Amino acid sequence: MTYLFSDIPASLARVCANKPIHIIISTVLFAAVAYLGIFEQYITNDLPATDSQEVNFYCPPSSSNWELLKSTSDLDKYSNAEHVYLNPLKFKGSTDSFPEFPNLIEDLETSDVDGYVLTDTAVGNLPEVLKNEQGQVFKLRSSNNKLGKYYEYCKSIIVKLQHAIVGAEPLDIVMVLCAYVAMWFTFIQLFYGMRKIGSNFWLAFGSILSSCFAFIFALALTTEILKIKVSLVSLTEGLPFLVSTIGFKHKLAFTAPVVKALNSDPHKDVADIISDVVRSRTAIPLIRDQLIISASFIICSLLVQNLPGLKNFCILASIILAVDLFFTFTFFASILSLKAQIFKVHREIELKEILEEDGISSNVANNVAEVSIDISQTVLKNNRRILGFKIFTVFGFLGLHLFALGTSWLYDDSADFEPIANRDSHLLIAAVKNTITQIPNNGLLLTVLPIKVYSQATALTELEYYVVLIFTTLTTAISDPLISKFLFMIAGISVSINIYLLNATRFHIRSPVSIINQLNSSKPNSSVGNDIVNASTTTSKPSKKTKKKTKKRAENNIQEPLVADVNADNIKEGQIVDENSTADDDSLSENTLSSSDDTVRPLEELTEILKAGNVKDCNNSEVLELVIAGKLPLYALEKQLGNKMRAVVVRRQSIAKFANAPVLLSDRLPFKDYDYDRVFGACCENVIGYVPIPVGVAGPLVIDGKPFHIPVATTEGCLVASAMRGCKAINAGGGVETVLTADGMTRGPCVQFPNLKRAGKAKVWLDSEEGQKKMKAAFNSTSRFARLQHIKTAIAGDSLYIRFKTTTGDAMGMNMISKGVEHSLKCMAEEFGFDDMNVISLSGNYCIDKKAAAINWIEGRGKSIVASADIPSDIVEKVLKSNVDALVELNVSKNLVGSALAGAIGGFNAHAANLLTAIYIATGQDPAQNVESSNCMTLMKKLPNGDLRISVSMPSIEVGTIGGGTVLEPQGAMLELLGIRGPHPTEPGANARQLAKVIASAVLASELSLCSALAAGHLVQSHMQHNRKAPAPLEAVPSAGVSLNSADVERLKEGSKICIRS
């Protein structure tokens, strides 16, 4: 039973999620076929009689008695009679007089026909355009394909509703109205629910589309197979009740766990996630609920046998629920899978573009993008422009459908007029007698054709004319046998290409993490995994056959660098050794570097190999020989060897030789198990390993109502403990409130002019509205993400300093700004009339970067954040072991007055740089930018209720969540811990701004704790207890100039017993 209710739906969902385009297109095609059948059943058969019917009369020779022919078969009796056709005409929109029409016979007895025209053929030669005496233009209209028909159709709908309301009970009207209101509320609730899950539009629309298809298939099944006809009235009254009672809870219940699973493991295959969720969480509950409801409808149909309308609708409702559940596991699963995969590809491409704009090499950007796709924040959220396009497409499709398909059953011009066949015979005969005065000898057969309508030409009719002309032309072209086959072939090719591209994309976005996991689980002595081992432990000169094998393995090394990095990254005594070997001795002898087991070919031969570009075929000892001889530069090892891990190993051996540093032949500087693909071309050159730094976590700290665990990379004891105590105190007061006051990274180039006058003119132009506008256009053209905010200038002699301030999305953005500044200056010189300008430096220290400067403190640079928190007085005493007055006094004396006396610029704080730099290192920021980022003013004051208010103002926090050190996996993991890794999917820059708020809040907690320790006199003792052995007690020497009261003595006694640990 479990297999039936969980495994089968899971297998269905997996197949459909693996082939989403196949399933979606197939379902749409079958739904179209079913829809056409329903259209014929429910629409064509229910069409009201129209005036399209012709009326035939016969008059014998030499007689005036006209006979109305009841059937078209009677026409054969009078085949020898002369046949003429009468065209009734109606002129719509005429206000004064009828248009001039030759041989027009006016009809004064009826209001819906203005006159008649007699013709010899059924088609007739009626003119297309007519004019009346006032110059009004009238055009012959077709009976359908008319844009203006919807106005008339709405009027007819209102009339029909009025008749229906008059004949219905008031209670029935109220109930149906409430059902329709509830149905539309259900639709709104669906969109709101999907929005909470993470999709603004597409999944909600897919849910509705899936249910609509289920309704169409169920209706076709009921009508064609079960031969049960549900009337159109029953559908219009019953469907709103069904939608409002059942709703789309099953779609939400299916979507929410799938999205949650995608969030928790974004690198797992989407089809596997959907299948696992269906099997473990959604299949059995959904099937159980739908079976119960369907059974209820079946029972209801058995109990109301005397009410055929209700019985048939209950049967239809039960089938709709069953088919809808099937479509949930198939069609809707395909939509969910396709949306998630497209989102992954979009995010990967966007991340790659951002990294490349920020100066990361293309290879590294590609590697990072492939494994850094994280859809945890808004897995299926849409860009607003894309959302608008989707809505426009959907409504455009519906509009074209109503226009092209619904014209035959919605409304036409003749709907205003009583059909010819329904008119009184004596009126028609009177019209005929007025028209025909003489009957031929063989009799006269007269056919009264449908009413022809001439409408006054307006803007709407002109628009309709051209739209109809376009559609008519397209229809004629498509109906051509050759063109139709060609279009069908093109559609098939397009579908095939889309399927191929999707399959290729799905393979492309599979995370390399899964490949690594497979490699880790494989046996360590695989031939590919030992390529580097073989390269360094060759015992004799390789034969020709061995060379071929080695070359083939070397090629595999380049194609699969991940394989080589997994099992071949161990070194002992200058040699790559097996992973199971041990190296207890830290200082290994270098004599084994060139052991007798290694055969090193002559330098001349190695040089020839280098020139041929085949260094990767040499063993490590031979590569080392080339490096020591100066033939192969250290920086070129990665390029020549084609394997970054091997390049690190050889470089360590080389530096150990050059610098006489055998420590590099040991593991004291780690180098194993590191992804050097992300380092090369992005973070560091001449890599020989990495330096581990302890990472602690401070928090949780509630920031703007949301808790954050803050990573801190430091070697200073007590720093994390101090921040933890600050977090505890701040959380007890309700957390931190933050405000972003500015966001803009700067670059300040220096340019020079021939004289002061030209420099002044350039400054005035740049400060003007025209100059700002042109420079913005030039700057913004260089990047999709960087946007110039404004330019500030300063002049010194004939030199001009230009400070560009720009937004850079979620990147710190120095590289993309530099590219934009360079292009802007080029345009200024070549296009804006300053060809005598000479660019001295792209960075003229007017930015100002990595230096203390007042301009950053005043104007801001990066993110400008103010963070504040209120600490209850009892928390200050119990947690911080101090009091509010002491903290306020210490802050004024130390952070404000003391810093002012020292001439500090932005240094009005206790130790903001301490925690800021630690977080910078942990999250991959540029540690050198702590100089300006640490600009901070700490303020404290006592509130009227006795509580403490503390705030920090940091105007120049320079951070980013993409580019730079954030491409490294450990640093990226810490950003992921904060929930802000990579670019924000819908609001560029939001992740970087959030990181700045986290840093400012952490600094606030650290400032609070340190100042409390200083006020209570605990600082030295806490460091001694945390970092060192207890010092020998010193003899107390009382100060002659200081008197202590009892409160101070008690406070110091208390401080001697505790430390700053919370």
Q: Which residues contact 865 (CB under 8 A, 6 or more apart)?
A: 738, 739, 740, 741, 953, 954, 957, 996, 997, 999, 1000
Element (H, E) at 1029: none
Q: 952-974 as b/e, with b when 16 or more CB fall inside 10 Å?
A: bbbbbbbbbbbbbbbbbebbbeb
Secondary structure letter of residue 962 according to DSSP: B
Structure-token pair, residue 905: 């610029």
Q: Cα angle vertex 53, ends 51, 58, to 5°?
A: 120
Q: 86-108 as b/e, with b when 16 or more CB fall inside 10 Å?
A: bbbbbbeebeeebbebeebeebe
Whether the link from the prior residue into 700 is cis, omega within 30° of 0, is yes
Instruction: Tell me the angle at which helices 459-479 and 384-404 cross, rounded to the nearest 10 degrees.
Output: 80
- Provide the β-strand partners of residue 938: 952
Sign, Cα dihedral of 964, 967, 971, 975: positive
Give the residue numbers annotated as catalytic, written as ranges. Answer: 716, 850, 926, 1023
* Residue 54: Cβ within 10 Å count: 15
Structure-token pair, residue 701: 């700290």
Q: Which residues contact 363 (CB under 8 A, 6 or more apart)?
A: 677, 680, 681
How large is the greatest C-alpha to C-alpha distance in the chain, in angstroms? 150
CA distance 289 to 840: 75
Q: Which residues contact 708 (CB under 8 A, 6 or more apart)?
A: 699, 700, 701, 702, 978, 979, 998, 1001
Structure-token pair, residue 478: 């498509």
Among residues 277, 279, 253, the alpha carbon closest in space to that of 265 is found at 277
CA distance 169 to 181: 19
CA distance 710 to 916: 11
- Tokens 């008695």 sit on residue: 65
Among residues 852, 946, 953, the alpha carbon closest in space to that of 896 is found at 953
- Tokens 């009468």 sit on residue: 86
